[in-house]
A and B are shown apart, each in its own frame.
Chain A
Amino acid sequence: MATTAQTSADGGQKAPFPPFQKDTFASQLVSLLVAFVALYLIVSRIALPRVGKTIDDRQAAIESDLAAAQKLKDDSDGALKAYESELAAARARAQAIGAETREKLNAASEAERKALEDKLSVKLAEAEKTIASTRETAMSNVRGIAAEAASAIVQRLTGVAPDGKAVDSAVDASLKG
């Protein structure tokens, strides 16, 4: 195939197309054999294990770092969860204490209020009784005063001391009216 290229090659070259010069084959094969075997030995014995180990080491380092990071993250997640549950418990406790205290205080104030109300109602009743009796006495006093005053007024007006009984009945009538 490529021999046709050789015929088109001009310039005073009479030698055959270089890739088909048979006398160079042996030299090339020997060189290729030596070079390729050397390359194979270098690659298989030194280069690939070395590069492979570097890659594996890196992979291992990345994986252990990731594992460590994951562990730290888990730890911090756990700590966060513990903190949150602790916080929730504390909040619940605080609410319970608050509710309890409120209830206790409510009950206490309720009792105090009741006691005070009772005391006040007793006092009120007493006061009302006192007022009633006071008014009664006052009213009876008023009758006496009114009778005296009426007789005095009558005396002053008429110059005659009125009859006590008549005055009394008149006062009673006016007090009733």
Chain B
Amino acid sequence: MAADPIHQFEITKLFTIGHIGGQEIAFTNSSAYMFLSVAVISLLMLGTGRRLVPGRLQSVAELSYEFVASTIRSTAGSEGMKFFPLVFSLFMFICISNVIGIIPYTFTVSSHLIVTAALALLVFFIVLIYGFYKNGLKFFKLFVPSGVPIYILPLVVLIEVISFFLKPVSHSVRLFANMLAGHIALKVFASFVGMLGAIGFIGWIGAILPLGLTVALTALEILVAFLQAYVFTILTCIYLNDAIHPGH
């Protein structure tokens, strides 16, 4: 039966591009949806006019611009604006690919841990490199909170260091798990509709509940798609803020 809830996460090779170190590099359905997301974002941001009084799509483009800009300003200060293109790219990429993934028969890019881990590690290393580049050794103040009594300071520093290195893990797993679980739940409930509908008339009545749940879950997933992109973005801003202003 096609109701296997895991099937939607499968990577299918469309064509092979080449090999790197004996590893086959293929253009997959995931690649296609990544590029589709990039294309949609580009279309939204570039193809929607520059009128003084904006139309609907232009408003969407400007709203996303100002939304991300205000998120950065409120969490990382105006110094964080130098990371605006990065944060904007992250937010739009995750948000648009998540929203595309809700459309039935599509693929959700961020339902693969490798993708979210790559994005989270990108942020992690930028924070690490920029933190040392801008603050030098003062960046270590990040691990030493002020106002902590000296006798528990080692313990606190240890916890801070561990939490710093666990940040990319939670950062990536949160997005990945949310998308994965949401899509599995959606698929499970939707498959109930099909299974019950196959029984006959009584099944049709029984299918009303899972159908309603599927609709409700779809609405929830649209919220989650946006929300997880926002959460990823605001965590990125908070981590960047650590790099810009360590030790507070």
Q: Write the residues of chain A forming the contact surface with B, with a CB cutoff of 8 angstroms.
A: 1-2, 5-6, 9-11, 13, 17-21, 23-33, 35-36, 38-40, 42-44, 46-48, 50-55, 57-58, 61
Contacts and interface: CB of A to CB of B under 8 A. Distances in A.
Contacts of B89: 36, 39-40, 43-44
A36 B93 contact: yes
Given A11-B1, A13-B6, A31-B30, A38 B180 contact: no
A47 B31 CA distance: 22
Contacts of A24: 11, 28, 30, 112, 114
A13 B20 CA distance: 28
Interface residues of B, number: 56
B118 A32 contact: yes
Interface in B9-61: 9-11, 13, 17, 20, 23-28, 30-31, 34-35, 37-38, 41-42, 45-46, 50-52, 54, 58, 61
Nearest to B50: A54
Nearest to A25: B114
B9 A18 contact: yes
A42 B42 contact: yes
24 contacts: A5-B184, A9-B5, A17-B6, A18-B11, A24-B112, A27-B30, A27-B31, A28-B11, A31-B28, A33-B118, A35-B31, A36-B34, A36-B89, A38-B38, A39-B89, A39-B92, A39-B93, A43-B41, A48-B45, A50-B45, A53-B50, A54-B62, A55-B66, A57-B52
Contacts of A35: 31, 34-35, 37-38, 93
| SS class, residues of chain B in contact with chain A | helix
B62 A27 contact: no
Interface of B: 1, 4-7, 9-11, 13, 17, 20, 23-28, 30-31, 34-35, 37-38, 41-42, 45-46, 50-52, 54, 58, 61-62, 65-66, 84-86, 88-89, 92-93, 111-115, 118-119, 122, 173, 176-177, 180, 184
A81 B119 CA distance: 65
A18 B50 CA distance: 42
Contacts of B92: 39, 43
Nearest to B46: A47
B111 to A, nearest CB: 7
Nearest to A48: B85
A43 B5 CA distance: 35
Contact of B46 (A1, A19, A50, A61): A50
Contacts of B65: 48, 51-52, 55
Contacts of B111: 19
Interface centre among B1, B30, B122 (most CB of A within 10 A): B30
Contacts of A39: 37-38, 41-42, 89, 92-93
B213 to A, nearest CB: 19
Nearest to B176: A19
A78 B1 CA distance: 82
Nearest to A53: B50
Given A18-B11, A24-B11, A44-B85, A51 B31 contact: no
Contacts of A27: 11, 13, 24-28, 30-31
A53 B61 CA distance: 13
Given A50-B46, A51-B61, A51-B65, A28 B6 contact: no
Given A19-B112, A54-B62, A42 B11 contact: no
Contacts of A28: 11, 28, 30-31, 112, 114-115
A40 B86 contact: yes
A32 B94 CA distance: 12
